[in-house]
Amino acid sequence: MTTHQYKTVSLSSVSVPAERSRSLDKDWAEALTAMFKDQGNKTAIEVRRSDEDGQYVLVAGLHRLEAAKLCGWEDLTVRLIEANSDQATAVYKLHEVMENLGRRELTILDRARHLHDFQEALYALHPELRHGGDRKSEAARENQNEIFSLRSDVSEKIGLSHRAIQMAVKLYKGLTKATRERVDGTWLADHQAGLMALAAHKAKMQANILDVLENPDNDVKSVADAILYLEQGRLLNAAERKIGGLRAALTKLDDATFDQLMDLHAERVKAWLERRGDSR
């Protein structure tokens, strides 16, 4: 259970923890600064008390906090959250994650990390969920409605099914910490197919792929191209790309569909056989 109250504190009294689900986007903070100067801050940041008297630790609202500093403000109205729980860290993490998940400016990588952190915080609060647990126990029954509500709220905020959320968590876990740090802030952080292709490989290969992508001497524009470059030592030309795509599509066809395709192109197939000297 958590309680909250609004109060005005000095910006210098609010510290930012190192482990956050989202890193600072300076461009976004500067955009908020312009809005703050015109309209003020209409949504209070969330903080918790620090171990030091009169000091606070940010829970949610990193970009609003930075924008307030850029505005030159000395004080800011905050929402002080106090968790009455042995798992206060997990409770505060849920507050951070739940607020950010509703924001549309999150990249795919950002969202995957938030969903991962949401799941880990939920496991910390309800350990019985991690390995299934005793679903018939009294404690599990008491927590069921709360857990279902949290999961439903997350799904509603981001418009993803439970399965899609699990896939995002799997994606995040598949990327090494080094890979996530290199990708963060780049075009790849918001490229679903590229991130999934990266996550399918082990740490060394992930590093090699990023090395190729970051090399200005290579004309490599995608993770798929980087993988081909590493495997073949060169990029495919346009004709090879087209043939490769057609081959991949054809191999997935069942016999009935393949036969229909051949019937539609029977004259071209016959002409091809004749060119090969095979008139069967």
166-182 pLDDT, tens digit per residue, is: 888 899 999 999 999 99
* Cα–Cα distance measured from residue 51 to residue 57, given in angstroms and rounded to the nearest whole number: 9
* Cα–Cα distance measured from residue 4 to residue 94, given in angstroms and rounded to the nearest whole number: 15
Q: pLDDT digit string (tens) for 8-31?
A: 889 999 988 887 777 787 887 888
Mean pLDDT for the stretch of residues 245-274: 89
Contact 16, 96 (CB under 8 A): no
Mean pLDDT for the stretch of residues 192-209: 95
Amino acid 82: pLDDT = 82
* Cα–Cα distance measured from residue 119 to residue 130, given in angstroms and rounded to the nearest whole number: 9
Mean pLDDT for the stretch of residues 115-140: 67
How far is C-alpha 208 from the chain's CA centre? 22
Task: Write the CB contacts of 16 (distance below 8 Å, at least 6 apart in sequence).
Answer: 57, 58, 62, 65
Model confidence at 88: pLDDT above 70: yes
Kindly report the pTM of this predicted structure.
Answer: 0.62
List, by residue range, all CATH 3.90.1530.10 domains of the chain: 1-84
For 21-25, 29-33, 66-70, 245-249, which range has the lowest pLDDT when averaged over its residues?
Answer: 21-25
Model confidence at 206: pLDDT above 90: yes
Count CA atoms closer than 13 A to 62's CA, side-chain side. Answer: 17
* Cα–Cα distance measured from residue 273 to residue 270, given in angstroms and rounded to the nearest whole number: 5
Cross-strand partners of 76: 9
**Domain 1-84 adopts which CATH fold?**
3.90.1530
**3-class secondary structure per residue, 185-246:** CCHHHHCHHHHHHHHCCCHHHHHHHHHHHHCCCCCCCCHHHHHHHHHHCCCCCHHHHHHHHH
Mean pLDDT for the stretch of residues 118-126: 77
Amino acid 91: pLDDT = 76
* Cα–Cα distance measured from residue 127 to residue 213, given in angstroms and rounded to the nearest whole number: 40
Q: If pLDDT is split at 50, 70 and 90, which confidence band does 213 have?
A: very high
Q: If pLDDT is split at 50, 70 and 90, which confidence band does 111 have?
A: confident
Amino acid 233: pLDDT = 76
Amino acid 149: pLDDT = 52
Task: Burial-class residue 52 by CB neighbours within 10 Å (0-12, 13-18, 19+).
Answer: exposed
